[in-house]
Structure 1
Amino acid sequence: MKLETPFNVEALRKDFPILNREVNGKPLVYFDNAATSQTPQQVIDCIVDYYSNYNANIHRGVHTLSQEATDKYEAARLKIQKHFNANKSHEIIFTSGTTHGINLVANGFSSLLNKGDEIIVSALEHHSNIVPWQMLCERTGAILKVIPMNEDGELVISEYDKLLSNNTRLVFVNHISNALGTINPIEAIIEKAHQIGAAVLIDGAQACPHIKPDVQALDVDFYVASAHKMCGPTGVGILYGKEAWLNKLPPYQGGGEMIAEVTFEKTTYADLPHKFEAGTPNICGGIAFGAAIDYMNQVGFNAIADYEHDLLEYATKKLLEIEGLKIYGTSKHKTSVISFNIAGIHPYDIGTILDKMGIAVRTGHHCAQPIMDFFKIPGTVRASFAFYNTKAEIDALVEGVKKATNMLL
């Protein structure tokens, strides 16, 4: 695939100070973006500005610093609302990350499910989109069903059709697999679920760094994401929920901010979004998330998608030239993630040697152990690319894998 317009990656790399460092005496090659992306100077400056100039608690203070912090925090919520095209700003709930958002919804449905109700997850899920639903089933007596996958790392949608029934209440699927890079057909999954009256939560943690989800166009009931996958800080994320669903769910935590009135006889809860935002939030994190959204939109998601697809095709071709190398996750629709193994070598050993060369990859089951069990492997080496990576870095990865192979076989 040829890029339609030039992508000035060298100019963009200057925004990321960490890319200038060395690891073990070698220039850093950072290919662990699916775990955490790097942070541009513009977002770092935003964090420093907050703590240097207006660090204060929000919403409850009448003094200037509190009002400034409140205004910037709520302005970030509006930026995120616009980015995801939510209908209303109070449909954006700040969380500590994707896992928090999923658990918030799972906790809420504890009071809405009955014994024998059915919920559906997919075989491609991260543990954070499996375990909370297993816990929900234990609390309620609901039944967990799984959409199977095939050898290409794709969901078998014909089997999903068979799983849906009048007892289905909830469907949970990731937008993109963190382990394989597969882009799931969530539009069809959501539509089919709605036809039988089930609600849908989409785990967008891996999708949001690469594409710009439109929650209204998707007609999704819940969508969760994390800032640290999107050039933002760790410890902050969002849950989008349709207003009607958020009003149905009980509060997840009790405390300050989420209340309207408190007496020892009775407490009434605040309106959205505060009903789900108990306690002092990650104020700086929320504001910095807004700055990260601004940065990525300035780069442009169409340009990001085109460039990363070019990197994916280049890396796939080069890696497959290595004897004994197998790629897991060969869907036609995938993002810039390559999971691979070398026959006869444990992925951890390859990752360790690559680190000695300054190349950061992830090894193991990537919090997606059922996927590894499907392929009957202990794990993979995962190289995940971002828009600030280069083909020269991919060449370094290929040479590093070759060197590791020669050392270990």
Structure 2
Amino acid sequence: MDKTTQSTESICESQPKWSWIQGGIAAPQGFRAAGVKAGVKYPNKYDVALVYSEAPAQAAGVFTRNKVKAHPLLLTKKHLENGVAQAMVANSGNANACVGKPGDEAAWAMAVKTAEVLGIAAEDVLVASTGVIGAELPVERVTKGIGAASLEISKKISPEEALQNSHQAALAIMTTDTVVKEAACELLTENGKVRLGAMAKGSGMIHPNMGTMLGFITTDATIPAPDLQELLSEAVEESFNMVTVDGDTSTNDMVLVLANGKSGITLNSGEWAEFRRMFLAVCKKLAQDIARDGEGATKFLEVQAFGAATVEDARKIAKSICGSSLVKTALYGEDANWGRILAAAGYSGAEFDPDQVEIYLGHVLVAKEGQGVNFSEEEAKEVLIKKDVTIKLLLQEGQAQATAWGCDLTHDYVTINGDYRT
């Protein structure tokens, strides 16, 4: 594959040559998906999802940086060592984490059952789980659900039914999520169309370096596993790793991508640049969907840091502000407390001169040269009462910039998480 030296950030500055389409994880050629109600935790919830590629696919993954890692995550990392996979299976309702040998056995049982019903190798199955940590997985229910999902995948169905099946797969990975998170798009190349499909889950226990977050991406383009891994790692840094809901990083989070080549198209250098831009846009959309759906959230927060000396400094500042409990509660209370914003930037670990910083709430300048300015509280309130709020910092240190996403912190967050296990 011809490669380009353009960064994902520079790619985003040009006009797109791709478009959003209806669909989700099974939108690309050669992929099928299904979600079923297996009773993993609740009797009437979709909770087992299965994604199948008709051909072995090139595969890549990015995983939590938490030292405590769930059993399916460890198995999936092992199965990705050869860069090939043909199916992804996931359950909600139970994280299958921190339960010892039974957890390893349960993750392997999910892979074996998937392989058995699809007629593929168990080593070509990627496994994920999400839910309560420390409880043994009800293996029989999950494997029965895998069997039921495989029956749905094997049926001859209409495009409308395939769309519904894909949607049910996205439903099946949800825990405290209140909305389904899925996306699909296509790029027109000189040899035809290449498609990208995706689904994700995440609402709480979300913090930079991902959180209780699962992401699954498929494409019918022909892409070697090393290029796929580089692409995914790059995109995750600018999308999922720029989201924070509550400061907790989970044991289970991962983002997986499969490229099965069923379109028959290998991208040239210009098309590869456009594909990367499309890939990043999908990841950013899902990341923002997760922030909007933060547990108990009433507001979506975007923090833009401009003029940093390095991209890393810009990212640190944006993420620190998004993650500040005091900033998040001020957002909930619609209080223009700019001092909390500057303080969060100050403890981010980034290098900058506080006396050079300008802070804006929406279009309203609230601080300049590290001090408050005479601003209209009424104008600031007009910004803060909106569901989507933007905070912008001008750092005057260089040309680097970054954006992070989060939400407010409300009473409902405590209510949701106070008795999550029971």
Fold-level similarity (TM above 0.5): no
Alignment TM-score, normalising by the size of structure 1: 0.25
Query: Higher helix share goes to which structure?
Result: 1
Query: Higher strand share goes to which structure?
Result: 2
Larger RCO (CA within 8 A; separation ≥ 6)? 1
